[in-house]
Chain A
Amino acid sequence: MTERKGLRVQMNRIGIAAGLTLGAVALAACSSSSSKGSDSSTAPAGGSSSSAAATACFSGSLKGEGSTAQKNAIEQWITDYQTKCTGATVNYNATGSGAGVTQFTGKQVDFAGSDSALDPTKGEVAAAQTACGSPAYDLPMVTGPIAVAFKVKGVDKLTLTPSLIAKIFLGKITTWNDPAIAAANSGVTLPATKISVFFRSDASGTTQNFEKYLAAAAPSDYTDTPSKSWTGKVGSGKKGSDGVQQGVSGTDGGIGYMEWSFAQNGNLGVAQVDNGGGAVELTAASAAKAVESAKVTGTGGDLTMKLDYATKAPGAYPLILVTYEIVCSKYADASKGTAVKDFLSYIAGDGQTGLTDLGYAPLPDTIATQVKASIAKIS
């Protein structure tokens, strides 16, 4: 066990050598997993006896569909859960948040994964209630930080303000040595390379959250209405975060937004974000800190959250999305209710550890407690 942990720290060191300052990540990963005694990612079968006993196992199968932003997290949860509960099968189809909600309200799946809560103005709340025969809950399950990833020769540390991000992505700043960028990055030698912007060509909750962030934190520079499709007037559109990742890593001077794990796994530089409270590096801890400043606006068991993108709290990385599982509060088929309850209980509990290495941040304790309380109400 310790040997494996050692390996992982070493792996993160390679990251440092390559120009990424992931030291804090490594530390966070160590401290979070040391308290549990088991790392779900590297030793799923060897879970400690206490946590295995606590896992309630259903038998049968569950179907979920939706957000691609939570794909890696939920696949890990499924693998770990199925390893503990050999009689259970959970399938998750990562097709996109909108598709997930559509399939959920169309009674095609037992739960949906979505980057945004059900929207009452589009009638989604009502549709879900009709499908369930009971109110549906939006349960935040994991925080997915969005990285502003870049690849510029000779630059491995970059700080951007919301205004700079907006100006770069809207094409108002076109070279890396622009005085505005230089002003926020004293001590960094910026080349005269042209900035190549990459955005998502497919509709995505990641784009929507990125735009929401810009609209909230840089309202004078970004004036569009946030939507799932990118509406900027410059750059190149690529399918999926993997497409954006390929685009940025293949272009000197490239910059793009993507889920954190894609920046980590593609070995790209990640910009620090300065919302006004000082430059904040993207770590699991700093992302979790930003969630703490979010407010729960849902009522009853519903836990819809309102993120404070403009937060100036020191040490909080503000560019995040919270991804939800959308479930019925009462399932027509009681065995489905038990299954959903068992699986989500695992996610909200033991499942929260080991997420950092996957590019996610766990829920802060205050939120996690509320989530567990809501899960307990599911039947």
Chain B
Amino acid sequence: MTDQESRDREHARARAEREATHGSDTPDDYANADPNGVGPIPSSSALTTPDPADATISGSGVGAFGGRGKVRIGDKVFRYLTAGAGMFVCILITLVAVFLLAKAIPSIANDKVNFFTSRTWLVSGSTLQFGIVDLLWTTVLSSVFAMLLAVPVAIGIALFITQYAPRQLARPVAFVVDLLAAIPSIVYGVFGITVFAPKLHGIIDFLNRYLGWIPLFKKQISDPGTVFAGGIILAIMILPIITAIAREVFERTPRENVEAAWALGATRWEMVRLSVLPYGKPGVISGAMLGLGRALGETIAITLILVAPPSGAPFSPSLFYGGETFASKIANAAAEFNNPTQTGAYIAAGLVLFVLTFAVNAAARIVVNRRREFS
């Protein structure tokens, strides 16, 4: 028998005793009971194997909701309340979209080069010339690179904490990862450019020597402010988000699933693969998407780290090159936003980021929704 089960037994006993002493409570008390009263139910095996204590509860519970009409009103109100909150979010986003479109369209209309395919960005002169190809590439490259680094590591850490590590170790590890979420992004930026990035020269040279024939790994600049460095820092930034959610969902793997795997004589890895991972997959994907959203839109850290190539520099797909993301482009110009058409060009970049995030999330939703059903 596991610790968990024995604890559950204890709760059940304790509750039975409580029921016995407070048996004369008015039925209304159940409705107003604090969450503690219901807390043990989820983890308790009492639901599958009926328990006298629960019988007591249900006895008083049924009595509590005699007035059915009243209940329906409560249901309606609550439903409208939640739907209202949903509507609020929809309206908010619509407003943001209207704002972005209203600001961006006049500038895009005046754009003298193709907005989607041009690499030029000259908005200070009398004619507007701006295109987003470079921004799109740097944004996607840095974020995807960060995801590739962070997601496997986050899953590893979450598994380590929930399935592998002894409790004494799991707690401090979880704490350290949580600490990372609390570090402001500007500090990541400062750490990244002054402390971390200059130490990467060895790795970059190594990768360049053996993989330099792949354009992605061709060393282009000696400055430490590369997409490579930026991507790693982004990975560290999103790690706590993904880990926290993965940890929560892994911890909630139903005991029956885990024990069924053990009963089949599975090794620990097989148990994880058969019960924990499939169960936690949608949650992990959700966490990863939150992380990706953060990485795509990260502003200040990336602005501090990435070195901006001069205008007109040849395109380079390399990780070992600088660049500007949508967010850093906007941040770099925000101080001088005093001309609506010029500002519109940057807002247009924000709009593309908006659409990009939407597309990525929509794709993830489709993956997640394939298995929507509850446990």
A and B: direct contact (Cβ < 8 Å)? yes
Task: Identify the A interface with B (CB < 8 A).
Answer: 68, 95-99, 101-102, 122, 124, 196, 199, 201-204, 225, 227-239, 243, 246-247, 250-251
Contact indicator B309/A236 (Cβ below 8 Å): yes
What residues of chain B lie closer than 8 Å to A238, measured between beta carbons? 225, 307-308
B35 contacts across to A, CB distance below 8 A: none
Chain A residues contacting B125 (CB-CB under 8 Å) are 225, 227
Contact across chains for B338 and A246 when beta carbons are under 8 A apart: no
Query: Is B338 a contact of A98 with CB atoms below 8 Å?
Result: yes
Q: Which of B332-362 touch A at CB < 8 Å?
A: 332-339
Give the one of B193, B224, B225, B335 with max A CB within 10 A. B335
Which residues of chain B are within 8 angstroms of A68 by Cβ–Cβ distance? 335
Asked whether, in the complex, the Cβ of B336 is within 8 Å of the Cβ of A203, the reply is yes
Q: Closest A-chain residue to B324, C-beta based?
A: A201
Q: Which residues of B contact A243 (CB under 8 A)?
A: 193, 304
Asked if residues A233 and B338 are in contact (CB atoms below 8 Å), the reply is no
Do residues A201 and B332 form an inter-chain contact, with CB atoms below 8 A? yes
List 25 A–B pairs whose Cβ atoms lie within 8 Å, in order of A's numbering: A95-B334, A95-B335, A98-B336, A99-B337, A99-B338, A122-B338, A196-B222, A196-B223, A201-B307, A202-B303, A202-B333, A202-B335, A203-B332, A203-B333, A203-B335, A230-B310, A231-B122, A232-B310, A236-B221, A236-B223, A236-B307, A236-B310, A237-B310, A239-B303, A246-B193
Beyond A227-B124, A246-B193, A246-B194, is A233–B311 a contact (Cβ under 8 Å)? yes
B312 interfacial contact with A, CB 8 Å: yes
Given contacts A95-B335, A203-B336, A237-B310, 14 further A-B contacts (CB under 8 A): A98-B338, A99-B335, A102-B337, A122-B339, A201-B308, A201-B324, A202-B332, A231-B122, A232-B310, A234-B313, A236-B307, A237-B307, A237-B309, A243-B193
- Which residues on B sit within 8 Å (CB–CB) of A202? 303, 331-333, 335
Q: Cβ of B336: which chain A residues have Cβ within 8 Å of it?
A: 96-99, 203-204, 228
Secondary structure dominating the interface of B? loop
> With an 8 A cutoff between CB atoms, is B322 at the interface?
yes
The A-contacting residues of B in range 47-79, CB under 8 angstroms, are none
Whether B198 is near chain A, meaning CB under 8 Å from some CB there, is yes
Chain A residues with CB under 8 Å of B221's CB are: 236
Cα A196 to Cα B311 with chains together (Å): 16
**Cβ of A233 and Cβ of B313 under 8 Å apart?**
yes
Are A236 and B308 in touch, CB under 8 angstroms?
yes
Roughly how many angstroms separate A204 CA and B324 CA in the complex, as a whole number? 17
* Closest 5 pairs (CB-CB, A-B): A96-B335, A237-B308, A98-B336, A201-B308, A227-B124
In the bound complex, CA of A227 to CA of B122 (Å): 10
Please report the C-alpha to C-alpha distance between residue A227 and residue B224 in the assembled complex, in whole angstroms.
27
Closest to A124 in B: B338
Separation of A231 and B333 alpha carbons in the complex (Å): 14
Question: Are A251's CB and B335's CB within 8 A?
Answer: no
B314-336: which have CB < 8 Å to A? Answer: 322, 324, 331-336
The interface size of chain B toward A, counting residues with CB under 8 Å, comes to: 31
In the assembled complex, the Cα of A204 lies from the Cα of B337 at a distance in Å of: 11
Interface residues in B127-152 (C-beta closer than 8 Å to A): none
User: Measured between alpha carbons, how far is A196 from B125 in the docked complex, in Å?
Assistant: 27
Q: Give Cα A2 to B368, complex, Å.
A: 73
The interface residues of chain B lying within 8 Å CB-to-CB of A246 are 193-194
Which of chain A's residues have a CB closer than 8 A to the CB of B304? Answer: 239, 243
Distance to closest chain B CB from A251 (angstroms): 7
The interface residues of chain A lying within 8 Å CB-to-CB of B222 are: 196, 251
CB distance from B189 to the nearest CB of A (A): 9
Contact at A251–B223, with CB atoms within 8 Å?
yes
Task: Point out the residues of chain B lying under 8 angstroms from A233, CB to CB.
Answer: 310-313
A117: min CB distance to chain B, Å: 14
Chain A residues with CB below 8 A from B339, complex form = 122
For B194, the chain A residues whose CB sits under 8 A away are 246
Q: What separation, in Å, do the CA atoms of A96 and B338 have in the docked complex?
A: 11
Nearest CB in chain B: distance from A127 CB, A? 9
Taking a contact as CB atoms under 8 Å apart, the answer to whether A229 and B338 are in contact is no
Task: State whether B311 touches A231 (Cβ < 8 A).
Answer: yes
Task: With CB as the reference atom, state the residue of chain B lying closest to A67.
Answer: B335
Bound-state Cα–Cα, A201 to B329, Å:
9
Residues of B within 8 A of A227 (CB): 124-125
Bound-complex Cα distance A230 to B336 (A) = 13
Give the residues in chain A near B308, CB-CB below 8 Å.
Answer: 201, 236-238
Contacts of A99 in B (CB 8 A): 334-338
Separation in Å of the A285 CB from the closest CB of chain B?
31
Q: Determine if B335 and A236 form an interchain contact, defined as CB atoms under 8 angstroms apart.
A: no
Q: Which residue of B lies closest to A201 (CB)?
A: B308
Cα distance A243–B224 when bound, in Å?
12
What's the nearest-Cβ distance from chain A to residue B136, in Å? Answer: 18
Give, as a whole number of angstroms, the nearest-CB distance from B128 to chain A.
13
A370 to B13, CA, bound (A): 89
List chain B residues, Cβ under 8 A from A251: 222-223
**Beta-carbon contacts under 8 Å, B225-241 to A:** 225
Cβ of A105 to closest chain B Cβ, rounded Å:
8
- B residues near A98, Cβ cutoff 8 Å: 335-338
